[in-house]
Structure 1
Amino acid sequence: MEQRQITLQITGLNCAGCVGRAEKALSTLPGVTEASVNLATSKGQVHAALDLEPADLVSALEQAGYPAALSQVSLDIEGLSCASCVGRAEVALRAVPGVVSADVNLATERAEIRYLTGATRAADLRAASTGAGYPASLRAAEVDAAEQAQQRRGQEITALTRQVAIAAVLTLPVFVIEMGSHMVPTMHHWVMANIGLNNSYLLQFVLATLVLVGPGRQFYSKGVPALLRGAPDMNALVALGTVAAYGFSVISTFVPQLLPHGSANVYFEAACVIVVLILTGRLLEARAKGRTGAAIRKLVSLQPKTAELVSGDTVIETPVEEIAPGDLIRLRPGARIAVDGEVTSGSSFVDESMLSGEAIPVEKGKFAWLSAGTVNGSGVLEFRATHVGRETGLAQIIQMVEQAQGAKLPVQGLVDRITLWFVPAVLLAAALTVLVWLVLGPAPALPLALVAGVSVLIIACPCAMGLATPTSIMVGIGRAAQMGVLFRKGDALQKLQSVHVVALDKTGTLTEGHPALTNLEPAPGFTRDGVLRLIGAAEAQSEHPIAKALVQAAGKGLPKADSVEAIPGYGLQAQVEGQNILIGAARLMQREGIDFGPLTESAALWAAAGETPFYVAIDGQAAAALAVADPIKESTPEAIRALQAQGLKVAMITGDAAATAQAIAARLGIDAVRAECLPGDKVAALKDLQDSFGALAFVGDGLNDAPALAVADVGIAIGTGTDVAIEAADVVLVSGDLRGVQDALTTSRATMRNIRQNLGWAFGYNVLLVPVAAGVLYPFGGPLLSPVLAAGAMALSSVFVLSNALRLHRLKSSLDEGAEVSASGTGSLRPAT
Structure 2
Amino acid sequence: MIKFVIMAEQLVELNVTGMHCNNCAMSIHKLLEKKGLQDVLVSFASEEVKFSTGDRQTLPQIIKDIESLGFKVVDEANLQPTPFYDKVENKFIFCALFTAPLLLHMVLPWHFLHNQIVQLILCLPVFLMGCLHFGKSAFSSLKNGVPNMDVLIFIGSTSAFIYSLVGTVQNLGEHYLFYETCATIITLVLLGNVLEKRSVNQTTSAVKDLMKFQQVTANRVIKDGVEVVSAKEILSGDILLVNEGDQVPVDGDVLSGDSLINEAMITGEGIPVSKTKYDKVIGGTIVQQGNIRIMATKVGSNSTLSQIIDLMKKAQAAKPPVQKLGDKVAAIFVPVVILIALLTFVITYFATDAGLQRSMMNAIAVMVISCPCAMGLATPTAVMVGLGRAAKNGILIKGGDTIEAVANTKYVLFDKTGTLTTGKFGIIEIKPEEGFTMEQIRGVITAVEERSNHPIARSLVGGLQAYPQQKIILRTATEEKGLGMRAEDVDGNNYFLGMAKHKTPDHFNLTLYRNQVRMAQIAVDDTIKPDAASLIAQLKKTGITPVLVSGDKALRCKVLAATLGIKEVHAEMLPDDKLKVVDMYRKKGKTIMIGDGINDAPALTQADVGVSMNDASHIAIQSAKVILLNTDLKSVVKFLQISRHTLLTIKQNLFWAFAYNIVAIPVAALGFLNPMVGAFAMAFSDVIVIGNSIRLKSKRIAP
TM-score by length of structure 1 reads 0.77
**Structure 1 counterpart of 2:645, which letter?**
A
8 Å CA contact 1:703–1:725 kept in 2: the answer is no
Q: Distance in 2 between matches of 1:195 and 1:330?
A: 72
Return the offset for 1:286. 0.8
Which deviates more, 744-753 or 226-235?
A: 226-235
Which deviates more, 335-344 or 512-521?
A: 512-521
Change (3 A) 1:450 1:422: same
Counterpart residue number, 1:89: none
**Structure 1 counterpart of 2:612, which letter?**
A
Change (3 A) 1:48 1:552: farther
**Structure 1 counterpart of 2:392, which letter?**
Q
Return the offset for 1:719. 2.2
Counterpart residue number, 1:739: 634
Residue 351, structure 1, aligned to residue 252, structure 2: no
Counterpart residue number, 1:242: 157
8 Å CA contact 1:310–1:330 kept in 2: the answer is yes
Q: Distance in 2 between matches of 1:533 and 1:563?
A: 16
Deviation string 1:65-97 (CA, Å, 9 cap, x unpaired) is 434333355xxxxxxxxxxxxxxxxxxxxxxxx
Match for residue 89 of structure 2 among 161, 173, 177: 161
**Structure 2 counterpart of 1:172, which letter?**
A
Match for residue 24 of structure 2 among 8, 18, 27: 18
Change (3 A) 1:513 1:274: same
Counterpart residue number, 1:208: 123
**Structure 2 counterpart of 1:163, which letter?**
K
**Structure 1 counterpart of 2:446, which letter?**
G
**Structure 1 counterpart of 2:575, which letter?**
P
**Structure 1 counterpart of 2:260, which letter?**
F
Counterpart residue number, 1:121: none
8 Å CA contact 1:33–1:48 kept in 2: the answer is yes
The 5 A counterparts of 1:173-572 are: 173-177=101-105, 179-180=106-107, 187=108, 190-191=109-110, 194-195=111-112, 200-214=115-129, 217-256=132-171, 264-303=175-214, 305-312=216-223, 314-443=225-354, 445-520=355-430, 532-553=442-463, 561-565=474-478, 571-572=484-485
Change (3 A) 1:196 1:530: closer
Which deviates more, 235-244 or 47-56?
A: 47-56
Q: Distance in 2 between matches of 1:176 and 1:336?
A: 55
Return the offset for 1:583. 4.5
Deviation string 1:260-309 (CA, Å, 9 cap, x unpaired) is xx894211111111112111111110110110111112222334511111
SS of residue in 1 equivalent to 2:253: strand
Q: Which runs of 5+ in 2 are unaligned?
A: 1-6
Deviation string 1:493-527 (CA, Å, 9 cap, x unpaired) is 21111321110111111111242234457789988
**Structure 2 counterpart of 1:70, which letter?**
D
**Structure 2 counterpart of 1:438, which letter?**
Y
Q: Distance in 2 between matches of 1:422 and 1:619?
A: 87
Counterpart residue number, 1:644: 540
**Structure 1 counterpart of 2:574, which letter?**
L
8 Å CA contact 1:304–1:320 kept in 2: the answer is yes
8 Å CA contact 1:157–1:287 kept in 2: the answer is no
Deviation string 1:577-616 (CA, Å, 9 cap, x unpaired) is 547363436967x9xxxxxxxxxxxx99xx85xx545454
Q: Distance in 2 between matches of 1:71 and 1:19?
A: 18
8 Å CA contact 1:39–1:467 kept in 2: the answer is no
8 Å CA contact 2:304–2:617 kept in 1: the answer is no
Change (3 A) 1:208 1:678: same
Match for residue 698 of structure 2 among 787, 796, 810: 810
Counterpart residue number, 2:3: none
The 5 A counterparts of 1:769-788 are: 769-775=664-670, 784-788=672-676
**Structure 1 counterpart of 2:495, which letter?**
L
Deviation string 1:714-768 (CA, Å, 9 cap, x unpaired) is 1111223984982111111112222222222222211111111111111111111
**Structure 2 counterpart of 1:580, which letter?**
N
Q: Distance in 2 between matches of 1:237 and 1:400?
A: 36
Which deviates more, 792-801 or 517-526?
A: 517-526
SS of residue in 2 equivalent to 1:732: strand
8 Å CA contact 2:304–2:616 kept in 1: the answer is no
Q: Distance in 2 between matches of 1:542 and 1:52?
A: 64
Return the offset for 1:639. 1.7
SS of residue in 2 equivalent to 1:670: coil
8 Å CA contact 2:397–2:627 kept in 1: the answer is yes
Q: Distance in 2 between matches of 1:545 and 1:811?
A: 43
Residue 70, structure 1, aligned to residue 75, structure 2: yes
Return the offset for 1:383. 1.4
Q: Distance in 2 between matches of 1:419 and 1:387?
A: 43
Change (3 A) 1:312 1:527: farther
8 Å CA contact 2:605–2:623 kept in 1: the answer is yes
Counterpart residue number, 1:798: 686
SS of residue in 1 equivalent to 2:599: helix
Q: Distance in 1 between matches of 2:224 and 2:664?
A: 74
8 Å CA contact 1:423–1:461 kept in 2: the answer is no
Change (3 A) 1:173 1:72: same
Q: Which runs of 5+ in 1 are unaligned?
A: 74-142, 181-186, 591-602, 779-783, 816-833
Percent identical:
32
Change (3 A) 1:810 1:156: farther
Change (3 A) 1:794 1:729: same
SS of residue in 1 equivalent to 2:600: helix
Q: Distance in 2 between matches of 1:230 and 1:56?
A: 17
Q: Distance in 1 between matches of 2:304 and 2:537?
A: 31
The 5 A counterparts of 1:580-591 are: 580=493, 582-584=495-497
Return the offset for 1:618. 6.2
SS of residue in 2 equivalent to 1:727: coil
Which deviates more, 241-250 or 543-552?
A: 543-552
8 Å CA contact 1:348–1:380 kept in 2: the answer is yes
Q: Distance in 1 between matches of 2:208 and 2:441?
A: 55
8 Å CA contact 2:116–2:174 kept in 1: the answer is no
**Structure 1 counterpart of 2:646, which letter?**
T
Q: Distance in 1 between matches of 2:617 and 2:186?
A: 56
Q: Distance in 2 between matches of 1:166 and 1:65?
A: 21
Q: Distance in 1 between matches of 2:84 and 2:412?
A: 45
Deviation string 1:166-192 (CA, Å, 9 cap, x unpaired) is 222211111111x22xxxxxx5xx44x
8 Å CA contact 1:174–1:207 kept in 2: the answer is yes
Return the offset for 1:10. 2.5
8 Å CA contact 2:375–2:654 kept in 1: the answer is yes
Return the offset for 1:376. 1.9
The 5 A counterparts of 1:101-116 are: none
Return the offset for 1:224. 3.3
Residue 687, structure 1, aligned to residue 583, structure 2: yes
Match for residue 657 of structure 1 among 550, 553, 556: 553
Task: Report the number of matched residues.
Answer: 694
TM-score by length of structure 2 reads 0.90
Change (3 A) 1:387 1:213: same
Counterpart residue number, 2:528: 632
Deviation string 1:139-175 (CA, Å, 9 cap, x unpaired) is xxxx8xxxx8xx76xx799923322222222111111
Q: Distance in 2 between matches of 1:209 and 1:158?
A: 19
Return the offset for 1:453. 0.8
Q: Distance in 1 between matches of 2:662 and 2:597?
A: 51
Return the offset for 1:206. 0.8
